[in-house]
Structure 1
Amino acid sequence: MADSEHTPESNVDVLIIGAGPAGLMAACWMAHCGVSTRIIDKRGTKIFCGQADGLQCRSLEIFDSFGFADRAWKEANHMIEICMWNPGPEGVIRRSDRIPDTIVGLSRFQQITLHQGRIERFFLDNIKKYSKDTIRVERGVIPESLDIDELKVKDQSSYPVTVKLRHLTDEEATPEQQINGSKISDGLFRSNLMHEDDEDDLIRKSKSRVGTDEIVHAKYVIGCDGARSWTRRTLGFELQGEATDFIWGVLDIIPITDFPDIRMRCAIHSAENGSLMVIPRENKLVRLYIQLKEVTPDASGRADRSKITPDIILNAARKILSPYKIDYEYCDWWTAYQIGQRVGTQFDSHERVFLAGDAVHTHSPKAGQGMNVSMHDTYNLGWKVALVAKGIAKPSILSTYQTERRAIARDLINFDHRFSRLFSGRPAKDVMDAEGVSMDEFKESFLKGNLFASGLIVNYGPSNLVVKVVDEPEKGELSGSTSTSIFADTFAKKQALATGLPVGMRFNSFKVVNQSDARPWHFQEKLKSDGRFRVVLFAGNILNPPQKSRVEQFCDALGAPNSFFRTFNPTSPPLDTVIEVLTIHSAKRTETDLIRDFPEILHPFNPHTGWDYDKVFVDDASYHEGVGDAYINYGVDRERGCVVVARPDQYVGWVGDLEDFNDLQRYFEGCLVLSTHA
């Protein structure tokens, strides 16, 4: 071997393997939380064309919490309507229905499309800004081995995961392209039609050169390295599921066509030639997902990718769209894949090495879920790893990653299994056609799918981060997490205090007005992804003396020396680096005074910068944007209010009354490390 005699070694809190959207989301958390991190990727460059393109509502809410949703919103194509096309009585396709692409009223954002490369660029810029350029994607770097020292995994000061890395040449880090004579960029090297992985070959080539290896000792490793994950294989974990016989091609083109709905999202079923989905994109591009009826798997269950070209995919689209014509002069990218749904057996090893995204669940891309759910995995995981690595949160919260995200992965697989088969099936000719797909059933599935695909119906089960009642089906799934017990009738009373903020779901957003300067805000804009928990005090009618007394008693408890707020936050400004208190009251803004009517702890005083004017809000009319009706929409009593805990990822963890301070104290004692800043 040509290895150097002195292999360099280093320590890092978090090593992220894979710099796609899931890996970059994890790195973004580390940048915002100030955790030492390295992120590696075996490819030499980020994505410049193709791959994923759909961004769902929840993803945009998350981007906004990091500070770059506006960039995606401005560049993207906005998806407003879905058109369904089905065969008429004579067998010719016709528009049969229109539905909104995003269910109205669910979010302040709607679904958009923008190619993955731009999204990666937004992440990279954000990571550079918040890490002060200390976290950079190291490209052309591949892991060779991974070992976990099981004797050290319980020691929070140790670096129990040892990873040997190899550095590649530019040529080795560039995936093979231009197969089948095509000069257009293709994504087949990432497709599930690929039979082999190239890691062993790349490692062998790297070993032939001196000085290409290094050893990294990490507290935590996050494997975001795709459907053929090296990390997953190295851990000995598997994906379980099945592939279908359905082969689909993908074309990103600027279309020349007389099809009238080419700038709408369309689901098109032809009578005999298969199905097609139209996804309008930015810069005049349109993505076509096309069922390839003439390409079938071989005896091994895999399709021969050498038989798939852009021309074959386009000809399949022409047959489906007939009698409409379609052609192109410019094709940006193309690929093909075989529909299959698989989910990982395990999401972590010793709660030190984690898998996320395609490494633990794969499915068809037509539901626009791959990139979104992958990013949501690491949005769930990133802050937990960051806070444990910093000694702020208890290691026990790490088990909630598998319990929370595995349930979502299973829901996704079940949804995609049903949806992809309905999409790929032949339309029923009449009610007696048992083999055909009912178009009414397909529409119903599409509508339900839109709700699921929005990412807004995720509902996490009970744990030490989510205080709610354990349902019987959840008990097996919760075996690894520390569940905070609560009786059903007690929980029902607490949840009734804020019916519009279900415990375990994301904190929905409605307009409120800043008490100090009258500016309206979507309240969710104040729940930034910076690693902090929020205690949201719905203070009710603060001008009513009995209610004001309740608020003052709550604030006295909050300010007591042994309260969670004093225990976990530092004693000198800023006072809210771990837990921030935000207030929404319901009295008239013009009759209320920040300093006179609200205890100091709700708007802390800093001797260098004065009062904090950005923590107290009111559910009242704004001059230009009307009333947000926050109390009504959150289901909170305008007189008595309540208290809600939002986790660092904006999910509701606890709801209680102003008098339930001891329960609130126990919540934080259950998930945070005492005396962190004492």
Structure 2
Amino acid sequence: MPSTSTIKESYTDVLIIGAGPSGYMAALWLARCGIPTRIIDKRSNEIFTGQADGLQSRSLEIFKSFSEDCFDWATMDQAWKVANQMEEICFWSPDEEGELARKSRIPDSIPNISRFTESVIHQGKIEKWFTESIKNFSGGSIEVERPLLPVSIKIDENAKDQQDYAVEVLVRKLDDDLARPEQYGGIANGLYRAFDGDQDKFYNQNIDDADKKDFELIHAKYVLGADGAHSWVRKQLGIDMEGEQTDFVWGVVDIVPITDFPDVRSRCAIHSKDSGSVMIIPRENDMVRLYIQLKEVDRDVETAGDAREFMGNCDDPKAKTKGRIDRSKITPESIINQARESMKPYKLDYTNLTWYTAYQIGQRVSPNFHRHSRVFIAGDACHTHSPKAGQGMNVSMQDTYNLGFKLALVCKGLAKQDILQTYESERIKVARDLIAFDHKFSRLFSGKPMIPNAAMLEGEATGSNMDEFHSVFLHGSRFASGTISDYDNSSLINKVGGATREGHEEDGVFSPLASKVPLGRRLFSDWALGQIDHRPWHFADRLPSDGRFRVVIFPGDVKQYPENMEKLHSFNEPLMAPESFLNRYTPRNAFFNSVIECLVVHASLRNDVEFYGFPEFARRKDYRGRVDYWSIFAGVGKTHNTSTKVDIYSTYGIDKKAGAIMVVRPDGHVAQVSEYTGEGLKQVCDYFSGFMIDQREIAVPEKDVTSYDSDRFEKPRLAV
């Protein structure tokens, strides 16, 4: 390896290692916020088929938050438009005679938990939309650099300033042939990815013979390891994975089925009497994905001594003596043959095979997600589990959706570095809950089913209880949706004054001022009407992911209770003052709402009040005198075209006389709810003073009043 004094050096705010969904989501956030970023991947090829396919409700909400109406490219919400949207799941198991029969049909997603339902689209398309959005947000400056292999990493533990380039990563440019993982049988598959315990050896071969021109030393303020279950970054940080791995092996195929099975276009969980289990996932177009439990899998006995490396803490005490799974013996035909046995008496044939893989079920989570708040790991790098609950890609993206805006605030010098510690505390709880859910769900799925009234059938009295499996699925669906991730008290979440609500169907802490809004969770979206134009908006669409906090003032019915409008006007002076939280944390010359945006949602009929009857802070003008028309909403009323009833006050449990003030983080989670009073406004100020950095002495370049800036909606908005 050449001396670092002879190779190219470069600098960036954030270096992302790994261009899977988790890495892409981080890059998307940072591009949207205007943060200098690089994203590298050791693979020479992008994913165009296979891999993850399920999108849960929360992921689709997040995609929508990066997809504003004014964008004229293929934005992230294409996923909802193109994907197969699943409406129900069917459960099949043996009847009293041991014959396969449909037990029940239920909604695939919890009704009304989101405006989106679980959907399916292959990962390659999702990465394509990520690439397009990142390109447009960054003006083409951020794109995946391939194939680059990280070789070494060094953290300056003594770095004091959060803007120091405290991490050095040496990377090596690979030949395309070396960076292209081997395939088996000539059909696109994920076998190498699924069983790649020897990837390090594969990618690092001949490294000592590499030329110095192939190396680069990247200096970064922060580094993210989003490089998969066998994460190089995690290993360099000395962070273990804790948990266990079973001896259950499952195959996966993407096919167009030819079958007489009646529920082939519904999601299905099938437990056969003696031939294992199958999950059917109907995909886009006429494709279907099958997850099939493999009963017999050949082993490479020569690897038995290395079993600990790839088996982990396995349930099967004999597993470590069996040797590594011989992935070359796993073929599409062997997988589908097993599915045929499981689905009897129904027939199964296929055409248009596009991808296949196999994997072992295991549940592991890292005890730490960062080192020194400088290097972070996310996604499969810090938690692994089975894919049948549709969580892998979703939880991975939601990890970096949590981290991305925090990195942006710190890199911009808007917030203290301390907020980065909330990434681990918030996401490790989600990861552990996921592992617990997947542990139970996957074992019930993989177990042999119990036959009803088995006492009448000799030898069939044991097995997985299908009623229990059904119950676990129902209970887990709310968690699996991603919409109830609940973040505890921290510098970014204030649950003081909240309490658990008696008789509520889900756990959580609720403020009596907004009794249906769980503190620390994402804000549920409902309709509101634009005061200026009566346009109906899903309120979440007025809170796009662009790095800004929102302070939402709910002044109640300002027509019925005129004192509420008077109180709103009394807020004008403190909010317009230079020392207010709206101005203190916004650099000079930046747009007035580019760090904290203030919105007003009243409870009067829109026609009973006038736009210019509201105080100036809610309808401010920018440096050109352009009025902000989109910060005042009617939270009650009816839409003109559909007569849809609008009452967001009822949805959120806010009294129309008392009102409330809500702080919403850039990731849409409710940070704090305070009373609609001067004291409540002070509590909002106290919230931001805990972690934000005063910007009154900081200035961004003065704007040119003669420039044509219609592209300002697509460019980064944070502190500009």
Instruction: Check whether TM > 0.5.
Output: yes
Give 1:173 shift. 1.5
Task: Evaluate the alpha carbon distance shift between residue 207 and residue 523 of structure 1 in structure 2; reply closer, same or farther with a 3 A threshold.
Answer: farther
Q: Is 1:40–2:70 an aligned residue pair?
A: no
Per-residue CA distance 1:605-651 (angstroms, 9 max, x = gap) = 23525321111110221102312321101101112211000000000
Query: 2:477: which partner in 1?
Result: 450
Q: Is 1:670–2:690 an aligned residue pair?
A: yes
Per-residue CA distance 1:626-678 (angstroms, 9 max, x = gap) = 12321101101112211000000000001001221221111000121123565
Query: 2:646: which partner in 1?
Result: 628
- Segment of structure 1 superposing worse, 600-609 or 167-176: 600-609
Task: Evaluate the alpha carbon distance shift between residue 583 and residue 315 of structure 1 in structure 2; reply closer, same or farther with a 3 A threshold.
Answer: same
Distance 1:114 1:676 in 2: 47
Unaligned runs of 5+ in 1: 470-485
SS in structure 1 at match of 2:617: helix
Give 1:345 shift. 1.7
Task: Evaluate the alpha carbon distance shift between residue 547 and residue 41 of structure 1 in structure 2; reply closer, same or farther with a 3 A threshold.
Answer: same
Contact persistence 1:3–1:207 (CA under 8 A): no
Q: Is 1:422–2:439 an aligned residue pair?
A: no
Give 1:236 shift. 0.8
SS in structure 2 at match of 1:671: coil
CA RMSD of aligned residues (A): 2.0
- Segment of structure 1 superposing worse, 527-536 or 63-72: 63-72
SS in structure 2 at match of 1:500: strand
- Segment of structure 1 superposing worse, 8-17 or 623-632: 623-632
Per-residue CA distance 1:161-214 (angstroms, 9 max, x = gap) = 00000001111121111x2xx2211101110x3331235643634743341001
Query: 2:709: which partner in 1?
Result: none
Distance 1:10 1:573 in 2: 29
Contact persistence 2:153–2:168 (CA under 8 A): yes
Give 1:256 shift. 1.0
Contact persistence 1:569–1:677 (CA under 8 A): no
Distance 2:364 2:481 in 1: 21
Which residue of 663, 666, 669 maps to 1:645? 663
Query: 1:51: which partner in 2?
Result: 51
Give 1:430 shift. 3.7
Q: Which amino acid aligns with 1:175?
A: P
SS in structure 2 at match of 1:318: helix
Query: 2:542: which partner in 1?
Result: 526
Unaligned runs of 5+ in 2: 68-74, 299-318, 501-507, 699-720
Q: Is 1:343–2:365 an aligned residue pair?
A: yes
- Segment of structure 1 superposing worse, 214-223 or 597-606: 597-606
Query: 1:579: which partner in 2?
Result: 596
Per-residue CA distance 1:522-565 (angstroms, 9 max, x = gap) = 00001111000000111211222211122122333222221111
Give 1:571 shift. 4.8
Distance 2:124 2:176 in 1: 19
Distance 1:72 1:4 in 2: 43
Contact persistence 1:541–1:640 (CA under 8 A): no
Query: 1:509: which partner in 2?
Result: 525
Q: Which amino acid aligns with 1:143?
A: P
Which residue of 84, 102, 105 maps to 1:95? 102
Which residue of 551, 554, 558 maps to 2:568? 551
SS in structure 2 at match of 1:367: coil
Give 1:327 shift. 1.2
Contact persistence 1:241–1:341 (CA under 8 A): yes
SS in structure 1 at match of 2:269: strand
In the TM superposition, what are the counterparts of 1:377-526 in structure 2 within 5 Å? 377-430=399-452, 435-469=462-496, 495-526=511-542
Query: 1:477: which partner in 2?
Result: none
In the TM superposition, what are the counterparts of 1:142-221 in structure 2 within 5 Å? 142-152=149-159, 154-177=160-183, 179=184, 182-191=185-194, 193-198=195-200, 201-202=203-204, 204-205=206-207, 207-221=209-223
Contact persistence 2:513–2:655 (CA under 8 A): yes
SS in structure 2 at match of 1:628: strand
Query: 2:113: which partner in 1?
Result: 106
Contact persistence 1:515–1:594 (CA under 8 A): yes
Q: Which amino acid aligns with 2:18?
A: G
TM-score (norm 1): 0.94
Distance 1:74 1:403 in 2: 34
Q: Is 1:561–2:578 an aligned residue pair?
A: yes
Percent identity of equivalent pairs: 50
Task: Evaluate the alpha carbon distance shift between residue 505 and residue 676 of structure 1 in structure 2; reply closer, same or farther with a 3 A threshold.
Answer: farther
Query: 2:249: which partner in 1?
Result: 247
Give 1:446 shift. 1.0
Q: Which amino acid aligns with 1:167?
A: K
Contact persistence 1:4–1:211 (CA under 8 A): no
Task: Evaluate the alpha carbon distance shift between residue 276 and residue 677 of structure 1 in structure 2; reply closer, same or farther with a 3 A threshold.
Answer: farther
Q: Which amino acid aligns with 1:569?
A: T
Q: Which amino acid aligns with 2:23?
A: G
Give 1:69 shift. 4.1
In the TM superposition, what are the counterparts of 1:65-80 in structure 2 within 5 Å? 65-67=65-67, 68-80=75-87
Query: 1:481: which partner in 2?
Result: none
SS in structure 1 at match of 2:690: helix
Query: 1:480: which partner in 2?
Result: none
Query: 1:478: which partner in 2?
Result: none
- Segment of structure 1 superposing worse, 284-293 or 621-630: 621-630
Query: 2:72: which partner in 1?
Result: none
Give 1:442 shift. 0.9
Give 1:295 shift. 2.1
- Segment of structure 1 superposing worse, 430-439 or 29-38: 430-439
Task: Evaluate the alpha carbon distance shift between residue 93 and residue 249 of structure 1 in structure 2; reply closer, same or farther with a 3 A threshold.
Answer: same
TM-score (norm 2): 0.88
Give 1:488 shift. 6.6
SS in structure 2 at match of 1:604: coil
Task: Evaluate the alpha carbon distance shift between residue 677 and residue 2 of structure 1 in structure 2; reply closer, same or farther with a 3 A threshold.
Answer: closer
